[in-house]
Amino acid sequence: MGASLSIDYVTHRFSPSAEPTLKDIDARIEPGQMTALIGRSGCGKSTLLHMLAGLLIPSEGCVRVNGHQISSPSAKWNMMFQKASLYPWMTVQENAALGLLFAGHSKREATRQVDALLDMVGLHDKKKENVQSLSGGQQQRVALARSLATNPEVLLLDEPFSALDAFTRSALQEEVPAICRERGITMVIVTHDIDEAITMADRVLVMSQNPGRIVSELPVKLPWPRRHMDVGFQTLRDELMQQFKGTDTGLSGRDAQSSQPADSKAESAA
Ligand SMILES: Nc1ncnc2c1ncn2[C@@H]1O[C@H](COP(=O)(O)OP(=O)(O)OP(=O)(O)O)[C@@H](O)[C@H]1O
């Protein structure tokens, strides 16, 4: 079951004399909800996500998980980064099992549990291979299996697919929310890509910059899986673009172009 998240009037300065990076951020995320945080580069998305992970403590305000103020990381709220951060000398299976071993499970039990997850993420034939022999997309799948192995209540994703090819990205954008829905995991994803936000989330929070604030919110009430060519998808994309234009968070031309349908991105990559 997913956890509730509460961001209570968070303001953050990286040094006491600095201007705030984040200002008066106040938001609730319900158990099992999937939320995308979007905004310009440098607006503070990753900073906020690190706070949700317990990796950074806000200067003012606090973050609560299930009502409890968090002050350190936990296996219950796992974070996935742009780069998979795997141990290169270990096999796929050993990397995926690490969280369970740290949590005190026996090697046998950890291996049994991760085997099922590696099957689920499509790595059934790679379990004994060294992770260095895997592609970037396959390595990110190992990181996903490792994140899911400890049965987290919250999955925090920091642009996890931005380095992947269009086909792999598109597949994972569909698979990850399906896994979270099936397991009831609360998910928060940070992204620059409007299409990724609509594809993966049931709610989009738009951030401004200098200081970073949540300036608007858009529910995504489209059926799963999301289809980029659907009229509802395109309407939401237009609406989010308008919201950007109405704030100082406007996407750059490149980001705006990157929000074209993934299908067409995949076609051009091919
Ligand atoms: N450890 C730090 N010390 C000082 N300033 C920092 C630190 N980490 C981040 N910042 C600053 O805080 C601001 C927000 O950074 P953050 O990485 O959260 O933005 P972001 O929206 O995630 O950007 P991007 O989309 O480019 O990853 C930036 O101006 C950054 O330089």
Of all protein residues, whose CA lies closest to atom 16 belonging to ligand 1?
A: 44
Q: Please state, in angstroms and as integers, the Cα–Cα distance from residue 13 to each residue in 5, 6, 27, 41, 214, following that order.
A: 22, 20, 19, 17, 16
Ligand 1 centroid–CA 57 distance in Å is 14
Ligand 1 centroid–CA 41 distance in Å is 8
Q: Is the pLDDT of residue 37 over 60?
A: yes
Strands 60-65 and 68-69 come out as: antiparallel
Atom of ligand 1 nearest to the CA of 39: 21
Q: What is the pTM of this model?
A: 0.88
Ligand 1 centroid–CA 235 distance in Å is 31
**Total residues found in the chain within this entry:** 270
pLDDT at 103: 86
Would you say the ipTM is above 0.95?
Answer: yes
Structural domains of the chain in order of their starting residue, each with its CATH number: 5-76+152-269 (3.40.50.300)
pLDDT at 120: 86
Ligand 1 centroid–CA 47 distance in Å is 6
Helices 92-102/107-120 angle, 10° precision:
120
Atom of ligand 1 nearest to the CA of 207: 21
pLDDT tens readout for residues 69-112: 999 998 888 898 888 889 999 999 999 999 999 889 999 999 99
Do residues 52 and 77 make contact, with C-beta atoms less than 8 angstroms apart? yes
User: Does ligand 1 come within 6 angstroms of the Cβ of 249?
Assistant: no
Residues 6+ apart with CB under 8 A from 128: 91, 92, 93
Q: Which of 66-70, 115-119, 220-224, 248-252 has the lowest mean pLDDT?
A: 248-252
Read off the tokens for 174. Answer: 């569909």
